[in-house]
Amino acid sequence: MGYNGDEAAAALGFEEMPFKPVTKMKIMTDYKGPMEMTVSWSELSFNPELRFWGVRNDGKPGRIFVLRGCYRTSTIVGLKVEEWGDYPVMCSISDDTEREWLIGEWGAKGFAAYSDSGGFRHFQQFGYAGNGAWVYIGQQKDPSIPLAGLSDISKERASMAEAHGVAVWDAEWV
C-alpha cells in the first residue's frame, strides 16, 4: 500500500527524488578545515500523520533558532579550486529546545509528554540547491549541548544573530 520514493516523485512530476536522506556529509570547521560528520533525523519526520510541537510552561514555543554561519563548499589551494560538498553553499543553524512539553497528534489521537531535562542545543544543516531553494539536510548528530551549561544564552543568541544581520528566530519573531 502506498508509494515508494521514486513512485511518489514521478506521481508529483519530479524527475528524481527531491529529498535524498544522507547519513554523512562534509562540513567546514573553524580550524580543522572540511571534515566528515554524521547526520541524523527523526524517523517520525517521515510520517505525514504525525504532528508535534514543543511548548514551554508559559505556553510559548519551546524552540529558538539562530543562524550560526554559512560557507562555500570549496577550498582554494594555489591555483586549484577543490569542490568537496554536495551543495555550493551550506548554512548551519543552532536549534535550542527549551520545551517542557511535547504536544502531538497522530491521526485523530492526541498525546502530551513532560520533560524537565533543561533543554539542548543541536545544529541543523541546510544546503543551497539554486534558484533561491534551500534543502534541509538534517541535524548534526554531535554535539548535543545541554543549555544549562551555557551562560547568558539570550545574549549569545542576540550577538550571533546581529553578527549575521538576522533576527533570533523565536516566539517574538514569529
- Indicate whether 31 belongs to any domain: yes
- Indicate whether 38 belongs to any domain: yes
- Indicate whether 86 belongs to any domain: yes
Residue 37: per-residue pLDDT = 73
- Cα separation, 95 vs 124, in Å, equals 7
- Average pLDDT along the chain: 83
pLDDT tens-digit series, residues 59-97: 888 899 999 999 888 888 889 988 888 889 999 999 998
Number of domains in the chain: 1
Residue 1: per-residue pLDDT = 42
- Cα separation, 101 vs 112, in Å, equals 7
Identify the domain containing residue 141 by its residue range: 5-164
In angstroms, the Cα distances linking 80 to 33, 37, 89 are 16, 25, 18
pTM of the full structure: 0.75
- Indicate whether 172 belongs to any domain: no
- Indicate whether 59 belongs to any domain: yes
Identify the band that residue 19 occupies on the pLDDT scale cut at 50, 70 and 90: low
Q: Looking at this protein, which amino acid is placed at residue 35?
A: M
- Indicate whether 171 belongs to any domain: no
How many angstroms from the chain centroid is the CA of residue 152?
23
pLDDT tens-digit series, residues 96-152: 988 788 888 888 899 888 888 888 999 998 999 889 888 888 888 888 888 887 888
- Cα separation, 98 vs 107, in Å, equals 26
- Indicate whether 47 belongs to any domain: yes
Q: Which residues lie below 8 Å from residue 46, measured CB to CB, with a gap of 6+?
A: none
- Indicate whether 174 belongs to any domain: no
